[in-house]
Amino acid sequence: MNLTSPTPPRRPARLIALEEHFLHAGVAATYDEVDRALLSPSRVPGLDELGDARIQSMDEAGITMQVLSHTKPGVQDMTDGRLAVSLACAANDYLAEAVALHPDRFAGFATLATPEPAEAARELERSVRQLGFKGAMINGHTRGAYLDQQRFWPIFEAAEALDVPIYLHPANPHPAVYEAYYKDYPSLGYAPWGYAVETGTHVLRLILSGVFDRYPRLRMIIGHMGELLPFALWRADGRLTPKYPQLKKSVREYFLDHFSVTTAGVFSTPELMCTASIVGFDNMLFSVDYPFESNVAASSWFESLPIADTDRAKLAHLNAERILKL
């Protein structure tokens, strides 16, 4: 009997992670007691650190670069628009300092004060042109208002003009949805299920709103292996596209043409293979969701994937380099 050694894990030359979070103290000070407890350093170690400890964790996992973004809810739930604008600027300046200290290890997504869309668009331009950020992350709805409302579209206009993507991240479910669906099973409303339903619905609202006809070069990113949409796209397309004849393309075409998908928080080979069969490896990017998920667990899973080395390179760094101009 011939025994052969198993093939060792294959580590790509460069590994870029796109949905990696931090917490700015000034923004955190505005959070309610529940969010402060959920995001405390004792509960989520590493969230408030943008230096040596974070880089050590990256090194242990073979991660070359993190694209950093402020954790939810950021400044989007604030009722004081002027304060939201001020704190978004402060969070972006804080992140820019960390990126400047470690430009080969960190890049940034801007925090935007969506309660003030015109100011958010200006801050996106400042963050890209002056701070060198690669786009922005928006944490879902703004106090129950979704981005398909045209008052938010100056943000998309700016993103298209700057040629940078918007990463649409989950938010807590709309309060009315939470009350109807999740109040009896609170954990169901968040990362296990509710976040994906919330974000997937948000994506479909954007598609049906016509925003991608208005801004045909707009690029967006979503995480968590597509927030259930790759698995539901056939039915959504077949039932929705005929009902919106004013749109220039089908629901499926908008999704495939305008959205890239990351692996953040989902380290499962069957889910990856199913997602890749829908969106293609050219539209997928590696992510961890650090520090809510383990860098080592994510990279170990990624290295063991039974995929071609050409596809591994796309996931690891080539797509990120192209989309974010890294």
Tokens of 252: 């499926």
H/E element holding 154?
Answer: helix 153-162
Residue whose token pair is 């668009």: 121
Neighbours of 246 (CB within 10 A): 7
H/E element holding 229?
Answer: helix 229-240
Single-letter code of the amino acid located at 106: F
Q: CB under 8 Å to 78, separation ≥6 — which residues?
A: 30, 84, 87, 113, 115
25-28 contact pairs (CB < 8 A, 24+): 26/87, 26/90, 26/91, 27/70, 27/74, 27/75, 27/87, 27/90, 27/91, 27/111
Rounded Cα–Cα distance for residues 20 and 109 (Å): 10
Neighbours of 180 (CB within 10 A): 10
Give me the active site residues, please. Answer: 289
Pairing of strands 16-22, 220-222: unpaired
Rounded Cα–Cα distance for residues 297 and 225 (Å): 16
Tokens of 253: 């075409």
- The answer to whether 324 and 107 have CB atoms below 8 angstroms apart is yes
- The answer to whether 12 and 313 have CB atoms below 8 angstroms apart is yes
